[in-house]
Amino acid sequence: MITTLAWPPAVEILTIQPVGDRWRITSSDGLFEGVFTDAKSAVRCARAEAEAHPGHAVQVVRADTA
């Protein structure tokens, strides 16, 4: 009998950072991105994306460190 092992979930970081007067989300694998007019919407979207994909995490970059 052959038992297949489940691969661990891919670990990707969703980074939210200010870009001018907008907020941009980018994933570390380059497959997901978006631009939002406010931080709250960007965070909500990034959290939903991370929750839909086990192993994904959200990172917020403050405006004064970007």
Return phi, psi of residue 21, to 5°: -100, 15
Domain boundaries, the chain: 13-65
Q: Give one word for 51, left, alpha or beta, with left for phi > 0 and alpha for psi -120 to 50.
A: alpha
Structure tokens at 60: 């917020």
Choose between 2 and 11: higher pLDDT. Answer: 11
Q: What is the pLDDT of residues 53-62, one digit of tens each?
A: 888 899 999 8
Q: What is the pLDDT of residues 3-53, one digit of tens each?
A: 666 677 678 999 999 999 999 999 999 999 999 999 999 999 999 999 998
Burial label for 31, CB within 10 Å (0-12, 13-18, 19+), is exposed
Q: Are 15 and 59 in contact (CB under 8 A)?
A: yes
Give the predicted TM-score (pTM) of the model: 0.77
